[in-house]
């Protein structure tokens, strides 16, 4: 990767807050956790998912003509959440975690629903002038789409009516997986409770990147951080990851039924050489931004990292090209083998799966 800025410090200082050019939204006394964003440049709106509310802001002036949808968890769900030992005001609310464009008139949204995830459709109209912004009365189960626990992150993307989501799917926050739900196919996911697939991950982004001019080849890339596997590193460590899936993946026939058959992951390395010859690694992936280029197959990937170290605290932005990312997924691969079950290079025949359905013979 190319490290762009060695270390970033202070982001929003007092001077900026004092500036006359800064327009602020004071917030609602009964809402907080403004964590989920959806930019709609065509309509000139910014949708924001928060605690018990979805907001729609004017892109030119955030204080002007904003609208809001209150969306509270059902009182019975709040009671259940409280009885389960959760904090009523901090945990047993509906924290919005998913806002994704669904079609020309609707946005798909999900929230934690007081530890009982729930999803629904927000009508936004065809044009900004329509002034439509309301939640459809019909809601559906949000398991595998939004986490239960508001403190956990989720990353999702809706493609062709299907939702790809990296999230936890249980009350305890232990069953982390990458899901595909909604749409016409049977839901599919990563293997449950298998640390080789995912090891206590925290998802930060999902993106579709075409592989060729044929949409059948489209791939879904997931960005997350997770615990390194035993033996991969001496001691406890976090690694940043990029995961890859074929959009076309329907799961296996005999094995891996309703599981991804094309999932691969690689470490996302962001480091700077130190004067003492020891590299400083930035492993705590925080966010990812894809900058489009003339070629839709080759966006530039910008990733924001912080360090895990208690001694050195810092952050960095690393930039990756799709050519480098694709080269890594061509192999060679590592697998666990031998008497000590160590990570060794995989010698068998394997290559990055083509997305043409040949994996379906499994
Ligand atoms: C933004 O909108 C508010 C409320 O309508 C108004 O008071 C303020 O002057 C506007 N600010 C700018 C920079 O246009
Ligand atoms: C939050 O407070 C605003 C006024 O400050 C009110 O309009 C809105 O309905 C309240 N929402 C909920 C969910 O209580
Ligand atoms: C968009 O999806 C919603 C929810 O399924 C549906 O009610 C609406 O008719 C759809 N709109 C269009 C333009 O297809």
Decide which of 93, 117, 142 is a domain's last residue. 142
pLDDT greater than 80 at residue 333: yes
183 occurs within a structural domain: yes
Q: Does ligand 1 lie within 6 Å of residue 59's CB atom?
A: no
pLDDT greater than 80 at residue 340: no
**The pTM is what?**
0.90
Are 179 and 319 found together in one domain? yes
CA 350, 354, 355, 357 torsion-angle sign: negative
Q: Does ligand 2 lie within 6 Å of residue 161's CB atom?
A: no
Give pLDDT, residue 19.
Answer: 60
Are 38 and 134 found together in one domain? yes
Are 115 and 185 found together in one domain? no
pLDDT greater than 80 at residue 349: no
Q: How many domains does the chain have?
A: 2
Pocket test for ligand 1, best of 19, 21, 63, 66 (most atoms within 8 A of CB): 63
Ligand 1 atom 14 nearest Cα: 61
115 occurs within a structural domain: yes
Give pLDDT, residue 347.
Answer: 76
Range of the domain at 133: 34-142
Give pLDDT, residue 27.
Answer: 76
Q: Which atom of ligand 2 is nearest to the CA of 71?
A: 13
Q: By percentage, how much of the chain surpasses pLDDT 90?
A: 64
- The model's confidence at residue 233, banded by pLDDT at 50, 70 and 90, is low
Ligand 3 atom 3 nearest Cα: 106
Are 68 and 175 found together in one domain? no
Q: Which atom of ligand 2 is nearest to the CA of 31?
A: 1
CATH number at residue 226: 2.130.10.10
pLDDT greater than 50 at residue 201: yes
pLDDT greater than 80 at residue 359: no
- The model's confidence at residue 120, banded by pLDDT at 50, 70 and 90, is very high
Give pLDDT, residue 311.
Answer: 77
For residue 21, which ligand has an atom nearest its CA?
A: 1
For residue 109, which ligand has an atom nearest its CA?
A: 3
Ligand 3 atom 9 nearest Cα: 105
335 occurs within a structural domain: no
163 occurs within a structural domain: yes
248 occurs within a structural domain: yes
What's the mean pLDDT in 331-356?
A: 72
Decide which of 142, 171, 198 is a domain's last residue. 142
Q: Does ligand 1 lie within 6 Å of residue 212's CB atom?
A: no
């Amino acid at each position: 990767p190319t490290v762009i800025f060695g270390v970033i410090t202070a982001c929003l200082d007092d001077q900026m807050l004092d500036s006359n050019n800064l327009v602020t939204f004071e917030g609602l006394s009964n809402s907080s956790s403004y964590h989920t964003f959806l930019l709609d440049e065509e309509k000139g709106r910014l949708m924001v998912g928060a605690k018990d509310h979805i907001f729609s802001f004017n892109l030119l002036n955030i204080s002007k003509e904003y609208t809001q949808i209150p969306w509270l968890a059902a009182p019975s769900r709040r009671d259940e959440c409280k009885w389960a030992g959760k904090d009523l005001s901090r945990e047993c609310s509906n924290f919005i975690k998913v806002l994704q464009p669904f079609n020309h008139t609707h946005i798909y949204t999900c929230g934690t629903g007081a530890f009982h995830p729930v999803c629904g459709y927000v009508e936004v109209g065809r044009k900004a002038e329509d002034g439509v912004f309301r939640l459809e009365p019909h809601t559906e189960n949000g398991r595998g789409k939004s986490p239960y626990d508001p403190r956990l992150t989720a990353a999702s993307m809706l493609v062709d009516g299907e939702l790809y989501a990296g999230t936890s799917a249980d009350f305890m926050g232990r069953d982390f997986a990458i899901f595909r739900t909604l749409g016409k196919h049977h839901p599919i996911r990563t293997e449950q409770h298998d640390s080789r697939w995912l090891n206590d991950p925290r998802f930060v982004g999902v993106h579709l990147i075409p592989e060729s001019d044929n949409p059948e080849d489209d791939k879904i890339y997931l960005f997350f951080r997770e615990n390194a596997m035993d033996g991969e590193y001496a001691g406890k460590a976090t690694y940043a990851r990029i995961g890859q899936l074929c959009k076309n993946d329907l799961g296996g026939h005999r094995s891996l039924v309703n599981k991804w058959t094309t999932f691969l992951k690689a470490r996302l390395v962001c480091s700077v050489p130190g004067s003492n010859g020891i590299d400083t690694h930035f492993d705590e992936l925080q966010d990812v931004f894809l900058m489009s280029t003339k070629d839709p197959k080759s966006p530039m990937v910008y990733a924001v990292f912080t360090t895990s170290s208690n001694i050195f605290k810092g952050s960095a932005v690393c930039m990756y090209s799709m050519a480098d990312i694709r080269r890594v997924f061509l192999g060679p691969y590592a697998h666990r083998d031998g008497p000590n079950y160590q990570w060794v290079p995989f010698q068998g025949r394997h290559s990055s799966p083509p997305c043409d359905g040949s994996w379906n013979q499994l």
